[in-house]
Each structure stands twice: as C-alpha cells, then as structure tokens.
A and B are shown apart, each in its own frame.
Chain A
Amino acid sequence: MRELRLSVNGRAVQARVEPRTTLADAIREQALLTGTHLGCEHGVCGACTVLLDGVAVRSCLLLAVQAEGAEVTTVEALASGGELHPLQRALHLRHGLQCGFCTAGILMSLAELWPRRGEVTRDEIIDCLGGHLCRCTGYVGIVRAAEDAFGLAPEETG
C-alpha cells in the first residue's frame, strides 16, 4: 500500500492505495465521490471520464499514483450552490439522459470544451461525444443538449 495525496475538486484527499489501483477506484473508494461511474473498465465506454488538470481522461486507464500532483475534477464539481451547470441543465431540458449511468462521463468530456465555448464547432462536439456509449437515449437528445449548451443551431435531420 502507498500513501498518496490527491487533489480532487480542490480538496486534498489522503489516500491509501495499491500501486495498481486505478484513479477511478481511488475517486470512488478513497475520495468517496461516487458520481464517477465505471462501465467497461478498459477505456471504451467513457463513463469514468474526469478532468486531469482540465483535460478529459479515462480514469479507468490511469493509475491513482499517476494523478499525484495534478488537479482532478469530477462531475460533483459542476453544479454549484444547488444550481445545475449549464451543461447539466441542457441535458435535463433536452432529455439527454435516461438511466444516467453514462451521463457523468459525457458531462466531463463536454466540460473540457466548456472554457472554449463560442469557438467550439459541431464537429468537435460529435467527435467528443463519439467517445461515449449510451445504451438508453439513442444519442439525439445528448447531441441536441450539447448544441444548445454551446450555442450551436441543431443540424437538420431527415
């Protein structure tokens, strides 16, 4: 076991992990933040996506020890003071979620783009969402929510 000092959502977290512990497991079991979900645990589904120094990463493909010295941001950091983040609100309004399992990961991938809103293109959003599997929605609501949040007009669909 190794003592580890992580910074999650601006809070210092003292963790005791094995070297093989993934960042995802450390977030859930040491920082006790269970908004980050584990789906496939091999980088395919995108559910466990978090920000590492502002950059979207799969937390199942990182070891907790690799996150030492970096700032980890999880879905719990999005809403503030009981107010949903604009990305969360858009997903809610556009029915971009059903069971919600994939939602945290999708939010964090979109959150990487959020500081550049205004210059984010529809192609970028599609590329970003392409890294996430959702087994409920059929994706249309998710895409519309993202377009809304980033101020893009929806593309005509047949």
Chain B
Amino acid sequence: MLAGGQSLMPLLAFRLARPALLVDLHRLGAELGGMHAEDGVVRIGALARQREVERAGLLPVLTEALGHVGHPAIRNRGTVVGSVCHADPAAEMCAVALALDGSLELRSAGGGREVAVDDLLAGPFTTTLVTGELATALRLRPPPGWRWRVLEVARRAGDFALAGVVAGVSPSGGEGRLAVFGAGPRAYLVEGDPGELAERAIAAAAPAGDLHGSAAYRRHLVGVVARRALAALGATAA
C-alpha cells in the first residue's frame, strides 16, 4: 500500500520489500486526505502529508515532533498515518500517537475496526494489521491542558533518533507521560509520577546496538532526553 512512499520506496529500492502487487492510494485524496479537530479528538486522514499537518498546527506537540521527521522534501510527501503503520522503532509519530491515546481507523472489505496504537505496534516494522486492511485515519486524544515537549538525539538533523521522547505533564504537574522512541523494538509509554518517569523509561528501554551507538549508550540517552524534557516542562528539578 503506497501512500507517501517515503519509507516503502527505499525498501523497494533495496529489494527489502518485493510485493507482488502495489496499490497507490494517491488518487483517493478526497476520501483519505485532510484533518480536523472535534470534541477534543484530532483526526488525521491517511493521505494527509506530514508537511500539511505540521503547517496546520492542530497540536503544538505534533508540529514539534514533525519538525524532527526526515527533511522538508520528505515531509512534503510522507504521511502521518503511513509513518505509524510503518512502525519504525525510531519513528516520532508512533510515540506521539502513544502519548496522545492514539488509535487507527481501519477498513477492509468485511467492515471496519479501530485499534489502539499501543495494540497496533507489535515490534520493529511489524503491526497487528491483517491482510486486506487499510488504515484510513489516525485519531489522537490529547488530554486537556497538558503541556508537551519532544526531544531526541540524532547524529544529524533529520536522521533516525538514537533515542527520543515525547514528554507531557498534566496541568497540575502531578501526572506525566513519556513516550520513548528509538530505544527498543517499538515505541513505548510510561506514565505516572513525573519524578519517577525517567528511571522507569530507562528500565523499560531495550535498545539494540549498532554502528551508530551501543545499546548501553542508547539506554543512557533515554535518561538524558527524558530528564531534560521533563525539566524543560518544569515537571522535575533540572
């Protein structure tokens, strides 16, 4: 299924994916494009380009996170929903979706269902979508009044993060959330007392080492970005 193609096309170029059939969605822009906010729920259509969503500024945390996704020319084509479905462990969009109680609307010939992004992400580049299902939209449910910060460490701007967080704190400062990406087989969420979140995020990290950074270094970075983001939000002492 080809939407923005900014992940699938490289996979095809490397022959890592060799689909017998490729379905291009781009002529369904009227049905699958666009985005809107209603009753506290932000709905982003499957063909809404990342750049379009970034510029629409529906949610400051989404705009901030999209600024870290690839480069402008990549975001001009790439879609938010496609990024979630691709399930890259280092994808900012999966973490934002987890942090904001995100779910995907799915449709198939047999009907439709909605799946929480937490239940969707099965592992690296692996989801619980079944053959014949098409993701038509992402729904985000930002808790009212929360403040957010997105922080990541990457070797160069636009590179995949070695580790990153989407951090949030409730209006009272008593509750916090950390969605961590780039530090395990999939993005994950820890929530609760902001003072304990960084340690819990480190404990839950299961990064793989590669030539860009060892597992120990990446685990260390989870703590660094988590503590910095929470301090920037005033949720913990700097």
Contacts and interface: CB of A to CB of B under 8 A. Distances in A.
Chain A interface size, under 10 / 10 to 19 / 20 to 34 / 35 or more = 20 to 34
Chain B interface SS verdict (over half): loop
B76 interface: yes
A65 B76 CA distance: 18
A45 to B, nearest CB: 11
Interface residues of B, number: 22
B20 interface: no
Interface string A56-77: 1110111101100000000000
A63 B13 CA distance: 11
Nearest to B5: A61
A41 interface: yes
A96 interface: no
Contact of A61 (B22, B26, B67, B77): B77
B16 to A, nearest CB: 10
Interface in B36-80: 67, 70-74, 76-77
B10 A109 contact: no
B157 interface: yes
Contact of B76 (A42, A56, A63): A56
B10 A128 contact: no
Contacts of A57: 73, 76-77
A61 B5 CA distance: 7
Given A61-B5, A61-B6, A130 B26 contact: no
A58 B158 contact: no
B5 A130 contact: no
Given A49-B73, A65-B24, A60 B158 contact: no
A49 B77 CA distance: 12
Given A57-B77, A58-B77, A61-B5, A130 B10 contact: no
B72 A131 contact: yes
A82 to B, nearest CB: 29
Contacts of A58: 6, 73-74, 77
Interface in A101-141: 109, 112, 127-128, 130-131
Given A62-B9, A63-B24, A66-B24, A128 B14 contact: no
Nearest to A130: B157
Q: Which of B22, B67, B76, B157 lies at the interface centre, i.e. has the most chain A CB atoms within 10 A of its CB?
A: B76
A42 B73 contact: no
A156 B70 CA distance: 27
A43 B74 contact: yes
Contacts of A130: 71, 156-158
A109 B9 contact: no
Contact of B5 (A62, A109, A112, A131): A62
17 contacts: A19-B22, A41-B13, A42-B10, A42-B13, A43-B10, A43-B74, A55-B76, A56-B76, A57-B76, A61-B5, A62-B5, A65-B24, A112-B73, A127-B67, A127-B72, A128-B72, A130-B158
Given A56-B72, A131-B71, 20 more contacts: A22-B9, A42-B14, A43-B6, A43-B9, A49-B73, A57-B73, A58-B73, A58-B77, A61-B74, A62-B77, A66-B5, A66-B24, A109-B72, A127-B67, A127-B71, A127-B72, A128-B72, A131-B70, A131-B73, A131-B74
Interface of B: 2, 5-6, 9-10, 12-14, 22, 24, 26, 67, 70-74, 76-77, 156-158
For the complex of A and B, the 9 pairs showing the least CB-CB separation, nearest first, are A131-B71, A42-B10, A61-B9, A56-B73, A130-B157, A42-B13, A55-B76, A41-B13, A131-B73
